[in-house]
Chains A and B, each alone.
Chain A
């Protein structure tokens, strides 16, 4: 703790310069709801901390069919400002009121499962990330961010600055199955976006959280759905495909066996809701 330094950059440029100068020995703190408990508990002893709250990244705005969420926008801002139902539902399903006023959209992408449910909704909407460093800017589909449990493809000097969400063209649903009604980690979280052509599913985007090392798309489930008319047989086959392809784990919330069962059940219920 002796050399601890907390930087509070006032702009994105300043933040990127600090990251370039100090990475990989600097950690990024946005809302603090993941990192501060580790520091309070004596699990994490950072020497340098980069605070993002004052860097001008706390915005949510929408133009031309795309919602742009600054990575330091709080979950409360996502609820009131995004105008996309499943993003609002996902943000409301995380923590209590005070946590939602602190936790950020960008930070939640890096929450270890079963936390991190916002990413499920963002994956279902095929969100894109803007990633910046002092070296430049690039974009990355959220789907390609994760490489394993708590690991991503980001370089140490890179920062997620914005999440770009295309407004959904089809029907969406967000369903979090948990042990309590609110402020609770998920047994499984399902988010889906289906675009129909007539009766047929033209394209399907189904995302899962809490049943793998990171929030992920259920590609085999999507393949079953695409081109189908969402009858009971297809819904059953899609739910089974997702239950087979997920990689659930056991923790104090649920066993891997139970999580796999509930993937099947939650997807059946979710898709029946879209159909109705």
Chain B
């Protein structure tokens, strides 16, 4: 079992890690790099709480071997926050109470980020469709859908 050196970009920073074969990105982030915003939910690809962005596309870090992200751009929830402030989507989730227990929130926000990056004016239906892989057992989804629509408005300069 030879460990391998893997290079990739993590939240914009070039990163080199030594991992055992078939280690998942989820395990790497949480246990080796102490980045625990990426949650460990079902580890079956069913809940979406471990969602990360790989080259801007939502993927499930629990199903993704680290060897497969060689050279790629990884964004986790930690990567949205600057030293001074939260990202607009985070701010909106916070202000509009779109989180209850908060376990699904990192995945929800990253999917919202990927959606708004490619579609700045999503319809309600498009927001719902983008979230079908992310489970929330608290909110009933409505506050999350509203927060994403509100985020879009704020980013487009029409909100408060």
Contact surface of A with B, Cβ cutoff 8 Å: 1-6, 8, 29, 31-33, 36-37, 39-41, 49, 51, 53-54, 76, 95-99, 101-102, 182-183
Contacts of A39 in B (CB 8 A): 22
Interface membership of B63, Cβ < 8 A: yes
Residues from chain B with a CB closer than 8 A to the CB of A96 are 48, 131-134
Q: What number of A-B contacts does a CB cutoff of 8 Å give?
A: 91
Q: Which chain B residues border A32 with CB–CB below 8 Å? A: 63-65, 68
Chain A residues, CB < 8 A from B68: 8, 32, 51, 53-54
Q: Please, which residues of chain A bring their CB within 8 A of the CB of B57? A: 76, 101
B44 contact set on A, CB distance < 8 A: 37, 40-41
Per-position binary interface string of chain B over residues 109-135, scored 1 when its CB falls under 8 Å from any chain A CB and 0 otherwise: 001001000000000000001111110
* A6 with B43: CB separation less than 8 A: no
Is B143 at the interface (CB under 8 A from chain A)?
A: no
Interface size class of B (residues with CB under 8 A): 20 to 34
- Contact status B132-A6, CB under 8 Å: no
In the bound complex, residues from chain A placing their C-beta under 8 Å from that of B65 are 6, 29, 32, 36, 51
Contact residue among A3, A4, A37 (Cβ-Cβ distance under 8 Å from B63) = A37
Q: Name the residue on B nearest A40 (C-beta).
A: B43
How far apart are the CA atoms of A182 and B126 in the complex, in Å? 12
Supposing A5-B21, A49-B22, A96-B132 touch, asked if A101 and B58 sit within 8 A by C-beta, the answer is yes
A76 to B21, alpha carbons, bound, how many Å? 27
List of B residues within 8 angstroms of A76 by Cβ: 57
Collect the chain A residues with CB atoms within 8 Å of residue B133's CB: 95-99, 183
Whole-angstrom CA separation of A39 from B45 in the bound complex: 12
Please name all residues of chain B whose beta carbon is closer than 8 Å to the beta carbon of A54 when the two chains form the complex.
68, 70
Q: Which residues of A contact B21 (CB under 8 A)?
A: 4-6, 49
Q: Is the CB of A102 within 8 A of B59?
A: yes
In addition to A40-B62, A96-B133, 6 A-B residue pairs with Cβ atoms within 8 Å of each other are A2-B1, A5-B2, A37-B44, A95-B45, A101-B57, A101-B59
Q: Decide: A98 and B43 in contact? CB cutoff 8 A.
A: no
Q: Which residues of B contact A40 (CB under 8 A)?
A: 24, 43-44, 62-63
Does B153 count as interface, using CB distance less than 8 angstroms? no
Q: How far is the CA of A5 from the CA of B20 in the complex (A)?
A: 9
